[in-house]
Structure 1
Amino acid sequence: MDREKLSQDILDLVGGTSNIDQVTHCMTRLRFNLNDDNLANKAQLEQTPGVMGVMKNGGQFQVIIGNEVANVYKELIKKIPGAGQTENTSSSKPKKKQNPISTLFDFISGMFTPILPAITGAGMIKGIVAILVALGWMSNTSSTYIILSAIGDGAFYFLPIILAISASRKLGSNMYIGAALGAAIMHPTITALLGSGQAVTFASIPVVAATYSSTVIPIVIAIWIASYVEKVVDRFTHVSLKLLVVPTITLLVMVPLTLIAIGPLGSIIGNGLSGGIAWLFENMSIVASILIGGTMSLLIITGMHYALTPIVIGSITTLGYDFIIPLMFAANWAQAGGALGVGLRSKNAQTKSLGFSTGLTAIMGITEPAMYGINMKFKKPFIAALIGGAIGGAFMGIFHVKSYVITGLVGLPSVAAFISPSISTLIYALLGGVVALVSATAITYFAGIKEKTEESESTPVANTEGNSQSATSHQVAASNVIDIHQPTIHQVVATDIFSPVAGEVKPLSAVNDPAFSQEIMGKGVAIEPTEGRIVSPVNGTVFSVSKSGHAIGLVSDTGTEMLIHIGIDTVKLKGQHFTPHAKAGETVKIGDLLMEFDLKAVRDAGYETITPVIVTNINDYNDLQSATQPNTRSGELLYKLS
């Protein structure tokens, strides 16, 4: 894999550096917060070698890479100015509006993803130490044990400080003020004072005794409130005094407030969640295990599994164990079973190889290649994996399998998480994983998969050069990349595209944006408008209108997919000077008014108004022939597709 090229391709196809507000990565995915999702070419990204799939969840644009994601990320951030800096201050770029649920998932994933290596490494060390003690290879009174235990416990004991840094970064506030807040409530003197059993007050206000080591919710709430306090103080402080006043007031307000109110409230919430989960699994263990084990893969697809992270950490730090990680283990091995079932059933050598290889990867804890590349592609194996996860989950519930440490990858390498004073938990966990795997494999094998027959594979289809080639070559080319979607061959229908706006016609190379000038988004022309009216260039349907009003997507009745992008970087205007007259799903005819904008105001604000009018599914056509006139009026022929 050429990581440098792949990172550049991804950067171009998500709309360039100007379209990226933030980018992080987890174990398998690049997670983008984009200024405008309409600028990202999802279809072309899905066909890019090295990209396993693309999805939008929780307000994030996610590009699934697999095991190489960390290396691709390193190459990617080299190309994004400021992406490698240690502190993420408040961005001046406009934030997309999200619904509260998407905002919450985005915050949780953005907060926990960067710290996963620390808590995963610490958790694995705790698991290794537990194995060594259980096998009798190390005494739990030796100095070696004490040092190794401290290495494993350190990240969890001081978790509030680590979370304070990550949460502050995600919220755009100062990470080091956040760290100072976390350190203050973790200070040994404060810990001893609150644990002394004596009444504690601050300025005659009672301070409720609480323990903050290894907690999640108290510090997260505190940092969230602190981000607002910091911004308010910063707004009303003269620039010459900001360095002195902002951190001082923020800490003086937030540390006592956390000790008096936020901390105790957060502890009550955290203990309540952990206690509730424990009650659920103690009283309805099998039902809960079947539901969670069977739906875990769906939660991962939607990004909702990040909502479980605080619960898992809270359970382990409060109760000493967790019931959810074993169910993730069963769900992951069920995905492996689905892929292995495809490998056993398929008659295609490449699909067979891909099924076996991705199945083994899923056993190790990386499920995306199997899930997106095989199981969801053939559909039945994915359903089989959900059933297998439920069956494996039921086994885990019957034997009350618990995890005693947190792991990032839930697979074979992380079985140390199931070591307890008795090795029986590990045995039951492995058996539960095997039950899930075998169940999914068997269901997939007997349900069968629908593969193209040789007869249909040899049916000639037209390619973009007008020559005849067989569908087999399409299938082979597509199978070289793990991808959710197979290329779709559309019947070419000659189409006339009419000008959506009056102005001077220019080539796309004149647009000051590589996504358009290099024809990454598609082909067409650009127009320097002389009026502020955009009309429909085709008879068809509006499928998207950006919230900022600067971009309109349409699909014609003949299947032509188009994008009209008014100006460059005009997303930053947040809809100012734009008045939409059409909405997504609306049927339009040539000449119908789609958008009005104040041409002069946009230019006075410092933005270029050159407007690309492009065909995004250009690969479905053989030729695009532009009209020859240097100027156009709205409704005049702009170019022909054939």
Structure 2
Amino acid sequence: MAKFVNEAKELLEYAGGKENIASVNHCATRMRFVLNDVNNADIEKIKAMKIVKGTFVQAGQFQVIVGNEVSIFYNDFAEAAGIDGVSKEQTKVVTKDNRNFIQRLLANLAEIFAPLIPAIIVGGLILGFRNIIGDIKLIEGGTKTLTEVLQFWSGVYSLLWLIGESIFFFLPVGITWSISKKMGTTQILGIILGITLVSPQLLNAYAFAGTPVDKISVWNFGFAKVQMIGYQAQVIPSILAGFFLAILEKNVRKIVPEYISMIVVPLLSLVPAVLIAHAILGPIGWVIGKGISTVIYSGLTSSFGWLFAALFGFAYAPLVITGLHHMTNVIDLELMARLGGTNLWPMISLSNIAQGSAVVAMIFINRRNEQEKQVSIQAAISCYLGVIEPAMFGINLKYIYPFIAAVTGSAIAAVISINSGVMANSIGVGGLPGILSIKPQFMLAYAFAVLVAIVVPFVLTTILSKANLQLIKSYKKAKA
């Protein structure tokens, strides 16, 4: 029997029935509806459902927060509603007129990186674990690392690098593949384009800065020369190249007769795309990426870095509501490529922890309310493990004051992180396990920032709860 069949039927009824649903799909934690008429949906009853952690409208979509089991719930809902094959592409067609340019840009970025995030997170954890066993001196009175003492860990250290290198050095392959998949073009061509950006025949991107210009190999076409430079771990060049190939292939396919398209379209798409990628788009993307990472890093490490950190720490959770937080994936990856780490991601992880800590305070405050505790405990655990939506939408935004306490604690923790120079190897699990992605020399400072992100929201939520209760009593007394 389906796990959520009853809840699915309830949601279908409260959403206005099948005839009111133009489109529906889901992401990691949310059901995304496009309703023919939002007024036909009983939003208050939807919010009151036990499985629902919250609702909101974004870019023309009515979104229902379900949590980690959303994929199971979606399948049960689709069966209960008799809806088959409702895809994200269909939803985008329905909602495209409701989205402005920035919303469409961010949606595209989110869709490009969504399939890659699990690999990037695994890569961050692997690099962090390698640092623990290979760089932190834990053995023989703090004089040797595990890899120096035990051959087993030395082998593990070497093996893990194979995975870490594959994820980050060859990231352009994943990006160009993901773009081709999103654009509905030939995915193998996207993969091949990505491989040409990281081919061993090219000068490694990490060696480019220290190589004299006259030592860089070129493709000599007689009238022009193109440097043979690789784009390992480079994000912006890969995005530009991937979209160029996809757009070119779509246009070529329009003019090539169907009976020769299998031969002609790949040839006329891939060859020009590879040439343009290396001659024009790669160098342009390199400059753009370097500019972005330089500005962000300079801002965070300047004398006003604390102010930037405070603003970012305070604003990140609200950005999640708007979808603007997806832009941070690009920035983090650019910082990693240029600097070998990112000081932005630790603040994101701290923001998640702060939201979870505010929920823990609500658990303490409502400790005699069993129904509230059940919802809050699940939300807090998810948040501490990096899934923020159930906690934020289901609890903190519902009561407002826990959200205020959380973003305040996040801002303070972010300032501590930046002032301590904390750097992460890469994006990791955005919660308590995130410490594994922090560079070893900054783990202690980051642990202190985590402590602040736990304590401050908890204390503030408790204080604000009492103040809120007093205001309610005063209001009721005045009304009486």
TM-score, reference length from structure 1 = 0.62
Distance in 1 between residues matched to 2:39 and 2:167, nearest whole Å: 39
Distance in 2 between residues matched to 1:367 and 1:2, nearest whole Å: 24
2:237 maps to amino acid = P
Is residue 63 of structure 1 aligned with residue 64 of structure 2?
Answer: yes
Aligned to 1:179: 191
Is residue 434 of structure 1 aligned with residue 451 of structure 2?
Answer: yes
Distance change >3 Å, CA 223–CA 58, structure 1 → 2: farther
Distance change >3 Å, CA 225–CA 211, structure 1 → 2: same
Aligned to 1:124: 125
Q: How does 1:508-547 map to 2 (within 5 A)?
A: none
Question: Which residue among 364, 368, 376 is the counterpart of 2:397?
Answer: 376
Distance in 1 between residues matched to 2:310 and 2:180, nearest whole Å: 37
Distance in 2 between residues matched to 1:131 and 1:341, nearest whole Å: 32
1:290 Cα deviation (Å)?
0.7
1:187 maps to amino acid = S
Distance change >3 Å, CA 125–CA 188, structure 1 → 2: same
Stretch of structure 1 that moved more, 247-256 or 327-336: 327-336
The structure with more radius of gyration: 1
1:439 maps to amino acid = V
Aligned to 1:300: 320
Aligned to 2:336: 316
Stretch of structure 1 that moved more, 359-368 or 214-223: 359-368
1:184 Cα deviation (Å)?
2.2
Aligned to 2:223: 204
Distance in 2 between residues matched to 1:302 and 1:427, nearest whole Å: 33
Distance change >3 Å, CA 282–CA 347, structure 1 → 2: closer
Deviations 1:585-613 (A, max 9, x none): xxxxxxxxxxxxxxxxxxxxxxxxxxxxx
Question: Which residue among 253, 260, 270 is the counterpart of 1:241?
Answer: 260
Distance in 1 between residues matched to 2:200 and 2:314, nearest whole Å: 44
Distance change >3 Å, CA 83–CA 199, structure 1 → 2: same
1:55 Cα deviation (Å)?
2.5
Aligned to 1:189: 201
Distance change >3 Å, CA 292–CA 91, structure 1 → 2: closer
Is residue 25 of structure 1 aligned with residue 45 of structure 2?
Answer: no
Q: Give SS of 1:96's match.
A: helix
Q: Give SS of 1:439's match.
A: helix
Q: Give SS of 1:297's match.
A: helix
Is residue 137 of structure 1 aligned with residue 156 of structure 2?
Answer: no
1:342 Cα deviation (Å)?
2.5
Q: Give SS of 2:57's match.
A: strand
Contact 1:331 1:386 in 2 (8 A): yes
Distance in 2 between residues matched to 1:429 and 1:356, nearest whole Å: 25
Distance in 1 between residues matched to 2:238 and 2:306, nearest whole Å: 33
Aligned to 1:223: 242
Contact 2:60 2:95 in 1 (8 A): no
1:448 Cα deviation (Å)?
1.9
Distance in 1 between residues matched to 2:385 and 2:127, nearest whole Å: 19
1:192 Cα deviation (Å)?
6.9
Aligned to 2:283: 264
Contact 1:293 1:390 in 2 (8 A): yes
Q: Give SS of 1:138's match.
A: helix
Question: Which residue among 328, 346, 364 is the counterpart of 1:344?
Answer: 364
Distance in 2 between residues matched to 1:49 and 1:160, nearest whole Å: 42
Distance in 2 between residues matched to 1:342 and 1:10, nearest whole Å: 27
1:255 Cα deviation (Å)?
0.7
Q: Give SS of 2:358's match.
A: helix
Q: Give SS of 1:114's match.
A: coil
Distance change >3 Å, CA 384–CA 256, structure 1 → 2: same
1:59 Cα deviation (Å)?
5.8
Q: Give SS of 1:406's match.
A: coil
Aligned to 1:389: 410
Distance in 2 between residues matched to 1:35 and 1:237, nearest whole Å: 39
1:148 maps to amino acid = L
1:305 Cα deviation (Å)?
0.6
Distance change >3 Å, CA 214–CA 40, structure 1 → 2: farther
Q: Give SS of 1:396's match.
A: helix
Distance change >3 Å, CA 76–CA 157, structure 1 → 2: farther
Q: How does 1:147-186 map to 2 (within 5 A)?
A: 147-186=159-198
1:8 Cα deviation (Å)?
6.7
Aligned to 1:467: none
Is residue 214 of structure 1 aligned with residue 216 of structure 2?
Answer: no
Distance change >3 Å, CA 17–CA 218, structure 1 → 2: farther
1:52 maps to amino acid = K
2:285 maps to amino acid = G
CA RMSD of aligned residues (A): 3.4
Is residue 444 of structure 1 aligned with residue 444 of structure 2?
Answer: no
Aligned to 1:413: 433
Q: Give SS of 2:220's match.
A: strand
Distance in 2 between residues matched to 1:100 and 1:77, nearest whole Å: 31
Aligned to 2:141: none
Is residue 114 of structure 1 aligned with residue 115 of structure 2?
Answer: yes
1:138 Cα deviation (Å)?
2.5
Distance change >3 Å, CA 15–CA 163, structure 1 → 2: farther
Contact 1:338 1:444 in 2 (8 A): yes
Distance change >3 Å, CA 48–CA 345, structure 1 → 2: closer
Task: Specify which structure has the higher proportion of helix.
Answer: 2
Aligned to 1:492: none
Q: Give SS of 2:116's match.
A: helix
Distance in 1 between residues matched to 2:251 and 2:35, nearest whole Å: 25
Q: Give SS of 1:448's match.
A: helix
1:257 maps to amino acid = I
1:137 maps to amino acid = L
1:95 Cα deviation (Å)?
6.2
1:219 Cα deviation (Å)?
1.4
Contact 2:204 2:231 in 1 (8 A): no
1:83 Cα deviation (Å)?
6.6
Contact 2:424 2:438 in 1 (8 A): yes
Question: Which residue among 383, 392, 395 is the counterpart of 1:362?
Answer: 383
1:191 Cα deviation (Å)?
4.4
Distance change >3 Å, CA 344–CA 39, structure 1 → 2: closer
2:252 maps to amino acid = V
Q: With a CA cutoff of 8 Å and minimum separation of 6, indicate the structure with the bigger relative contact order.
A: 2
Distance in 2 between residues matched to 1:60 and 1:260, nearest whole Å: 40
* Structure 1 residue runs without a partner (length 5+): 457-642
Stretch of structure 1 that moved more, 315-324 or 142-151: 142-151
Contact 1:59 1:103 in 2 (8 A): no
Q: How does 1:25-44 map to 2 (within 5 A)?
A: 25-26=27-28, 28-31=29-32, 34=34, 38=38, 41=41, 43=43
1:211 Cα deviation (Å)?
3.0
Deviations 1:393-438 (A, max 9, x none): 111122111111211x311122101133x3xx11211210211221
Contact 2:52 2:394 in 1 (8 A): no
* Structure 2 residue runs without a partner (length 5+): 139-144
1:299 maps to amino acid = L
